[in-house]
Amino acid sequence: MSSLSGSRLMGLCTIAVGAIYAAGYLYTEPSITNARGTPPAIATTQSPRGSAKSKTPSSKAGSSAAGQKPSATGASAHTMYKDGVYTGAGANPYGTLTVAVSISHGKILSVKITSYNMHYPQSIIDPQLPQEAVSKQTWRIYIVSGATASTYNFAEAVYYALQKAKV
């Protein structure tokens, strides 16, 4: 049976999920262009729960000048990208894969794996492909829990997609 500390931890976790979900998701945006002289504030836009759950910040103007200028805080001048969807492919002796990188407001919004045709020898097989690995079992296994999978295989494909997206 769960101890007091276990109940407390369970409670904190349950409250966390409920509170974050209820609040909608807060997005931190790169600092605003007029932040000069003021402490860099966390600018947020909120996607209220219940309305259309668009995950892009609501302001359309943000996609032009404001969103694309590097932070005025001097924190960085990191790479900015053109909005759009860009594809990239990667290959190694075991096969090929492709990704589609979506850029919104000059930043990477999502990276979708659009094809994956890698056939590794059993010794280095990625646990992401469990059906083949355990086909002899009674039940079909759709999912396997294991140590965090690496994204190393995808680096090349993402690189080529981002090259296309560079301003």
Partner 1 sequence: MPSCAHNTKRETPNLAESFLLMGTTVTIRVVGDAPDLRMQESIQRAIGAMHAVERACSRFDEDSALRELCRHPGQLTPVPPVLFHALRIACEVSHLTAGVFDPTVGRILELQGFNRHYLTGEEISSGVPSNIPTSYRDIILVQDNLSVRLDKPMMLDLGAVAKGLAIDLAAKELGEWDGFAIDAGGDVYVHGVDPMGEVWTVGVEDPHHAEEPIALLRAGDMAVCTSGSAKRRSPLDPDIHHLWNPAENRPARGLASCTVVAPIAVLADVSATAAFLLGPDRAIPFIEDIGLVALCVKENGQILQTHTMKEYLT
Q: Looking only at residues 32 through 51 of this chain, which bind partner 1 when binding is defined by CB under 8 A?
A: 39-40, 42, 44
State which of positions 84-123 bind partner 1 (CB under 8 A). Answer: 99, 101, 107-117, 122-123
Nearer to partner 1, 20 or 64 (CB): 20
Q: What secondary structure does DSSP assign to 72-136, as a single string?
A: TTSS-----B-SEEEEEEEEETTEEEEEEEEEETTEEEEEEEEEEEE---GGG--TT-HHHHTTT
Q: Is 125 in the site for partner 1 (CB under 8 A)?
A: yes
Going by the DSSP 8-state scheme, the letter that residue 135 receives in this structure is T
Q: What's the CA gap between 101 and 89, in Å, rounded?
A: 11
Please pick, from the candidates 63, 80, 128, 164, the single residue that binds partner 1 as defined by CB under 8 A: 128
Q: Is 163 in the site for partner 1 (CB under 8 A)?
A: no
Q: What's the CA gap between 89 and 102, in Å, rounded?
A: 15
Tokens 């990276």 belong to 111
Nearer to partner 1, 37 or 139 (CB): 139
Closest separation in Å from C-beta 13 to partner 1: 4
Instruction: Let me know: does 79 contact 166? Beta carbons within 8 Å.
Output: yes
Q: Is 3 in the site for partner 1 (CB under 8 A)?
A: yes
Q: How many chain residues bind partner 1 (CB under 8 A)?
A: 79
Q: Which distant-in-sequence residues (6+ apart) come within 8 Å of 163 by Cβ?
A: 88
Q: Is 16 in the site for partner 1 (CB under 8 A)?
A: yes
State which of positions 57-76 bind partner 1 (CB under 8 A). Answer: 71, 75-76
Closest separation in Å from C-beta 109 to partner 1: 7
Closest separation in Å from C-beta 28 to partner 1: 5
**And the tokens for 41?**
């504030």
